[in-house]
Structure 1
Amino acid sequence: MSLTPEFKVGSQRYDVVFFDIGSTLVGVTPSFTKVYHQVFQRAGYDLPIGEVEEAVSYSWDIVAKQDPHAEFERSLEGNRLWQRAVEQRVMDKLNIHPDIHEELFWQIIEAFENPETYMLYPDVMETLQRLEETGYRMGIISNWSWHLPELLEHLGIARYFKYIGASARVGYAKPRREFFEIALHNLDVTPDKAIHIGDSYTADILGAWSVGMAALWLERQGQALRFAPPGDPNNQANKIKIENLDSMWKYLEHGVSVVAPGFGNKQADAE
């Protein structure tokens, strides 16, 4: 079946706007790799940052290739087990002595659960305020750890969202359709009245399309294209690509549908 989105300009107005978190609303400071690098430096491992980046990419590439239909335990303990596997691969790749793996694991967790590690992109607060004033409801659908609600409270944006879905708490990860269905159910909205915005073509765009939701692919300027569309010879993905949140308004205000034809029905699911 074709994954080419169709575009219809009409009077459609979405009721709900869902967002991803990482690289969409929130960034890591100074950078994802540098947070790891700083942890290792404090432990006495003065590793070249290029090697750290390679190890981190290696581990997270494995995550990206894992079965998208897998389920996992909806608990903090289950989240910790998943995190251990990720960080264990990083440390093994860097030949860090096993005797300090446990200590380093908790230092990595502490670093990435520290709210000061994260920052809002400059266009976020104004966008959320404008959406609220315009009458949109908002929600989060994010592949994130257990502590996402606390992070959003610290960043001052939790109050904007009627639903905050973190994969660790839901038990599914994007692009699994159940994650999107749970979000839709929580906000009592039909797929045709919701749009999802995120940076991963596979997790965010294809995930949203799988339940019949519209989606916009956010690739912020200066960011590497980490999640390229699989097989897109006609470059159709550019039709739903935006570089910042300011660019999304034309899709909302003019009711542009970006749902891939055939998604969300039983026949499409079987193909």
Structure 2
Amino acid sequence: MIRYLWFDLGYTLVKTNREEAYQKALERMGVYRSGEEIAIAYHRSDKLFMREYPGVLGKDSRAFLPWYVGTLNYNLRLSLPIEEVLQAHRDIARECPMKWQAYDGAKRTLQHLRSLGYRLGLISNWDESAREVLARNGLDEELDEIVISSEVGVEKPHPDIFRMALDRGGVSASESLYIGDNYYDDVAGSQKIGMHCLLINAYGSLGIEELSYRPVIAGIEDVAAYLGHPGLPLEITG
């Protein structure tokens, strides 16, 4: 029986406005792509890096950004000078800094899951900014335990970070469900110690065609239904 739900952070609970920023950078270079096209290109690029270059996306972006932008442009069917694209992107970032923001409904979803009797935790590969991101979005107050790689000295998919979380939560692996968007960090890592896992992939099988893993959900709003409960109640406004 599942008693404890553990979440990844980036692109599970929070996201940036990177698609909008990249669209503006391209427009400054006289190129147009729709927001949906850019979102799908980012999705494909993320999944490629997760599969082929594990751990890279969590490092200093200066180490991989030109490489990533080349992949992004390939997925957008563009052939542009990388340095010019990067400069346009830097200009946009100075005018409108990108911040990690909670997905719409993320906080309400966590509250709903808590109301159903589940305890909630976080297991994330993140730097020292993780707690600020959580607090700014009001997510920290919905979590019973928070385990961050930069604080504990071990990263997913190493099983020790999952073991630490279970010890802190006082729960067994078989009573836990992990929810994250990176198969190679989240699913492979949590399964090493016997945890159940839900893989988030907003576009069905897109970008993860090489995997036969199931279950896959579109986002955390689907967690309650997966567990056999009603979904998030409609928000009453006005």
Aligned length: 213
Alignment of 1:228 with 2:208, yes or no, is: yes
Q: CA deviation at 1:45?
A: 5.6
Q: CA deviation at 1:56?
A: 9.9
Paired residue for 1:248? 223
Alignment of 1:150 with 2:132, yes or no, is: yes
CA–CA separation in structure 2 for the residues paired with 1:56 and 1:242: 15
What is the correspondence of 1:63-74 to structure 2 with a 5 Å cutoff? 64-67=51-54
16, 21, 29: which is aligned to 1:46? Answer: 29
Paired residue for 1:127? 109
What is the correspondence of 1:1-271 to structure 2 with a 5 Å cutoff? 12=1, 14-29=2-17, 32-38=18-24, 40=25, 46=29, 48=31, 61-62=48-49, 64-67=51-54, 82-90=60-68, 94-96=81-83, 104=90, 107=93, 111-112=97-98, 114-115=99-100, 118-122=101-105, 124-220=106-202, 223=203, 225=205, 227-228=207-208, 230-232=210-212, 237=214, 240-249=215-224, 251-252=226-227
* Amino acid across the alignment from 1:95: I
Residues 59, 87 of structure 1: 8 Å contact kept: no
* Amino acid across the alignment from 1:242: I
Q: CA deviation at 1:211?
A: 1.2
CA–CA separation in structure 2 for the residues paired with 1:219 and 1:63: 13
Residues 54, 184 of structure 2: 8 Å contact kept: no
* Amino acid across the alignment from 1:48: V
Q: CA deviation at 1:244?
A: 4.5
SS at match of 1:96: helix
Classify 1:253/1:167 alpha carbon distance in 2 versus 1 (closer, same or farther; 3 Å).
same
Structure 1, unpaired ranges of 5+: 1-11, 71-78, 255-271
Larger relative contact order (CA 8 Å, sep ≥ 6): 1
Residues 198, 204 of structure 1: 8 Å contact kept: yes
Residues 20, 199 of structure 1: 8 Å contact kept: yes
* Amino acid across the alignment from 1:121: D
- Once structures 1 and 2 are overlaid, which stretch shifts more, 200-209 or 81-90? 81-90
Q: CA deviation at 1:149?
A: 1.4
Output one character per residue of 1:230-264: Cα deviation in whole Å (capped at 9) or x when no partner. Answer: 453xxx62xx223344543355459xxxxxxxxxx
Classify 1:161/1:230 alpha carbon distance in 2 versus 1 (closer, same or farther; 3 Å).
same
* Percent identical: 22
* Amino acid across the alignment from 1:65: E
Output one character per residue of 1:4-45: Cα deviation in whole Å (capped at 9) or x when no partner. Answer: xxxxxxxx2x2310012233222333xx3333454x47xx96
CA–CA separation in structure 2 for the residues paired with 1:172 and 1:140: 14
Classify 1:227/1:20 alpha carbon distance in 2 versus 1 (closer, same or farther; 3 Å).
farther
CA–CA separation in structure 1 for the residues paired with 2:30 and 2:152: 36
RMSD between aligned alpha carbons? Answer: 4.0
Residues 27, 119 of structure 1: 8 Å contact kept: yes
Classify 1:83/1:172 alpha carbon distance in 2 versus 1 (closer, same or farther; 3 Å).
farther
Q: TM-score, normalized by length of structure 1?
A: 0.60
Classify 1:250/1:62 alpha carbon distance in 2 versus 1 (closer, same or farther; 3 Å).
closer
Structure 2, unpaired ranges of 5+: 71-79, 230-238
Residues 66, 82 of structure 2: 8 Å contact kept: no
Residues 140, 165 of structure 1: 8 Å contact kept: yes
Residues 17, 137 of structure 1: 8 Å contact kept: yes
Q: CA deviation at 1:138?
A: 0.9
CA–CA separation in structure 2 for the residues paired with 1:246 and 1:58: 24
